[in-house]
Structures are given as C-alpha cells and as structure tokens.
Amino acid sequence: MKKLFILVVLFIFCNQFVNAQNCNQFVGTVNGKKLIYLNQDAKGNAQGKLIYTATKKDASTVSVHSEVFDKNGKSVGGGDSEMICSGDAIKIDMKAFVPASSMKQFSNMQMTGEAKYLAYPLNLSAGQKLDDGAVTIDMSNNGQPMSQIQMDITNRMVDKAETVNTNAGSFDCYRITYDATMKIKMMGIGIPVHIKAAEWFAPKLGRFVKSETYDKKSKLMGTMILDAIN
C-alpha cells in the first residue's frame, strides 16, 4: 500500500511538472512577440493587416492586443483578449474570433463581455472532434449600449497535419475546420450570418498561421496568413 501511495504521488508530481513545462515553453515562445497577418480577398488582393501583440501576464496566461488596419495602413479598430495554457490545452478568448471586417464597424466603441474560451488540445490528431464555443459581446460608446455581437463556433474537426510555409517561416500545423454563425444585433434586431472556415493551427504559437473563410456554399471569401513575427 505504501509503495502504491508513493507511485501515485510521483505520477501526480511528474504530470504537474510536464504541464508546467508545456506552459513555460508556450508562454516563453509568444511573450513579447508581434504577429503580423495579411488579410486578402478571394482573389488574393490585399485588404489590410491584423497585428497581435502578446505579453506575458503570469506563468500560464498571455494577454493579447489586436489591431486591425485597412489596405491604406489606417487603424480601424482593435481589442484585447487572453490566451491561457492549462498544461494539456491552449484556451483562446473567443473575442479574438470576431472577424476583422466586423471590427471596422465598431472602431470607436468599447467591447465587453464575459470571457469565453475555445480550447485547442496540445495532443491534436487527425479526425479529432473539438469542443464548440459561444460568446456574446456587448458594444458601447462612452458607456451607452449600442449593439451586441453573438457568435457560435460549431462542428470543429481536426482534418490533418500539414506544414505551412509563409514569409514568417515554416510551421507544423493542424488544419481545423468549423462552422461559425455571427449575429450583430442593433436595437434588438439582428440577422445571422453563416460561414465556414478552415484554420492551420500551430501549437508552437498557440495561434493559426493561415485561415480561410467560405460562404455557406463553400465559396472562398478571404484568407489571412502570417507574414512576420517581430
């Protein structure tokens, strides 16, 4: 019985040590980094860029500030979110999934809402089904409620492992597909917009390296790709 107790304690200790190592590696890799993405339309024409700046908050949490720029280089909006490492998964604040095109409409507003996280297990594999997610975001202007964004992400599936080459380097990724429904309510009225998406998620970065969005008929609408890491 004593030997069994010792083995259990050792197992728990080793598991916690590995989890801490995973989080230290992740936080250390992204801390202080600025990830620059290019936003392109279906024909590959430049539509602007998106910049994520990551800062270590604690041993397992990274604060992320995002800023959206139009094709003329003018800032049109931004926001703040968090990424949390639990040791076996990276959890991303769902406010980060609001499309850049939607952010343009709310460049002068404040974005609030209860933090909801989408989990990316560190042991991803082809054919794996991932958890869905939902979030509601309230938009206000100087404290005055203006509108509300509701987003649901469903049918998340790991398609395959794939290496993606970009101007920022070569990354080992997992292609993840999902469906998204977004509704922007103004004065209580909103029409849902349905899209399909694919993202190439790099566990090393805890972020996608490339993403594509499609309409409900699976026609390509736009692409976002990592261009530089500073």
pLDDT tens digits, one per residue of 101-144: 555 555 555 666 666 899 999 899 999 999 999 888 887 777 77
pLDDT band at 41 (very low <50, low <70, confident <90, very high): very high
Share of the chain above pLDDT 70, in %: 81
User: Quick one: three-class SS letters along the chain?
Assistant: CHHHHHHHHHHHHHHHHHHHHHHHHHHHHHCCCEEEEEEEECCCCEEEEEEEEEEEEECCEEEEEEEEEECCCCEEEEEEEEEEECCCEEEEEHHHHCCHHHHHHHCCCEEECCCCEEEEECCCCCCCECCCEEEEEEEEECCEEEEEEEEEEEEEEEEEEEEEEECCEEEEEEEEEEEEEEEEEECCECCEEEEEEEEEEECCCCEEEEEEEECCCCCEEEEEEEEEEC
Q: Is the pLDDT confidence value at 13 over 50?
A: no
Query: Quick one: pLDDT at residue 132?
Result: 94
Instruction: Please write the tens of the pLDDT for every residue from 43-53.
Output: 999 999 999 99
Instruction: Please write the tens of the pLDDT for every residue from 199-225.
Output: 999 988 888 999 999 988 899 999 999
Query: Quick one: pLDDT at residue 107?
Result: 53
The pTM score is 0.81
Task: Write down all domains in the chain, each with its CATH number in brackets.
Answer: 2-229 (2.40.360.20)
Query: Quick one: pLDDT at residue 16?
Result: 33
Mean pLDDT calculated for residue range 81-103: 79
Q: Is the pLDDT confidence value at 40 over 80?
A: yes
